[in-house]
């Protein structure tokens, strides 16, 4: 399998070429679990396919939607063809996404989302193909074990909100606009503290639009901008 590794400002991502459909989608979860198990630095796995409209498509390991994998695919396309503007497709949604490659790799996203507030300090943001719970915290309160336990409690308590989503995140935002993403993917049964999260950053922005610059656990900066057509998220992407 021809595999490419990317670092989209954190969140190390493996993309596997499957342009001729020699790998069955039924095998994607097992292949992904094996990679996550054997390559501890990799946080997620996607597969490069040819989409219905002839665009390149990123099919994620759990059929979820993943912004960072799409931006990684954008760098792959730029490296292969030199294109700076193009459209790509994704699992988890029927939408196509316009990509722009400059010093950053930017993805243009629709405004299709819903928001609920099940608790005073907990908002639920549902995007296509993934959903996130967003909470504000103090940096001094951050603890992996503490928030892993909290996330499991939230998943159990609000399973009626998340039942139709292939992936669910808990995005904790501290007073310095640094996010701490914890993401669960159902198909691979993987629970990962991600070093960066594109959809989690978008969810944090939707939860509080007074903030649009978010530092990732990797210490890279993600910027979200809103316009009449939707959102743009941008940050650097590099190959590993």
Domain at 76, CATH number: 3.10.310.10
β-pair partners for 99: 86, 107
H-type alpha helices, the chain: 28-38, 67-81, 144-157, 159-162, 198-207
What residues have CB less than 8 Å from 50, skipping those under 6 apart?
Answer: 19, 56, 57
Q: Which residues in the chain show pLDDT less than 70?
A: none
- Does 91 share its domain with 157? no
131 and 212 in a common domain:
yes
Domain presence at residue 228:
no
Query: Do 92 and 118 fall within a single domain?
Result: no
- For residue 123, CA distances in Å to 27, 35, 84, 169 come to 34, 32, 36, 12
- The torsion region of residue 177 among left (phi > 0), alpha (psi -120 to 50) and beta comes to left
77 and 175 in a single domain? The answer is no
Residues 76 and 12 placed together within one structural domain of the fold? yes
The reply to whether 18 and 77 lie within a common domain is yes
The answer to whether residue 16 is domain-embedded is yes
Do 134 and 209 lie in one domain? The reply is yes
Of 76, 5, 71, nearest to 240 by C-alpha is: 5
Q: Is residue 239 part of a domain?
A: no
Q: Which residue range forms the structural domain that includes residue 23? A: 3-109
The verdict on 50 and 79 lying in the same domain is yes
- Determine, yes or no, domain membership for 236: no
Residue 28 lies in a domain: yes
Query: How many distinct structural domains can be found in the chain?
Result: 2
Please tell me whether residues 157 and 90 are part of one structural domain.
Answer: no
Mark whether 122 and 94 lie in a shared domain: no
- What's the pLDDT at 230? 95
Same domain, 119 and 176: yes
pLDDT at 77: 97
Residue 155 lies in a domain: yes
- Measured distance CA(105)–CA(220) in Å, rounded: 13
Rounded distance, CA 42 to CA 235, Å? 19
Sign of the dihedral through C-alpha 198, 196, 57, 128: negative
Alpha carbons 107 and 38: distance in angstroms, whole number = 30
What is the 3 state secondary structure string of 56-116? Answer: EEEEECCCCCCHHHHHHHHHHHHHHHCCCEEEEEECCCCCEEEEEECCCEEEEECCCCEEE
99 in a structural domain: yes
pLDDT at 103: 87
């Amino acid at each position: 399998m021809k595999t490419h590794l990317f670092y989209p400002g954190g969140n190390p991502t493996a993309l596997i070429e499957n342009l001729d459909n020699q790998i069955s989608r039924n095998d994607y979860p097992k292949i992904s679990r094996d990679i996550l198990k054997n390559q501890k630095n990799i946080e997620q796995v996607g597969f490069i396919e040819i989409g219905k409209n002839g665009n390149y498509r990123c099919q994620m390991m759990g059929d979820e939607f993943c912004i960072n994998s799409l931006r990684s695919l954008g760098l792959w396309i730029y490296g292969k063809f030199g294109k700076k503007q193009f459209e790509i497709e994704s699992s988890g949604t029927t939408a196509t996404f316009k990509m722009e490659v400059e010093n950053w790799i930017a993805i243009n996203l629709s405004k299709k989302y819903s928001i609920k507030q099940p608790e005073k300090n907990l908002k639920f943001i549902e995007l296509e193909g993934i959903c996130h719970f967003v909470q504000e915290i103090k940096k001094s309160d951050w603890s992996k074990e503490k928030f892993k336990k909290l996330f499991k409690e939230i998943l159990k308590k609000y399973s009626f909100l998340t039942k139709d989503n292939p992936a669910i995140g808990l995005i904790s935002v501290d007073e310095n606009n640094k996010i701490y993403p914890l993401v669960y993917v159902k198909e691979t049964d993987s629970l990962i503290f991600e070093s960066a999260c594109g959809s989690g950053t978008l969810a944090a922005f939707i939860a509080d639009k007074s903030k649009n610059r978010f530092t990732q656990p990797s210490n890279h900066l993600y910027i979200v901008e809103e316009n009449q057509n939707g959102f743009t998220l941008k940050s650097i992407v590099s190959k590993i």
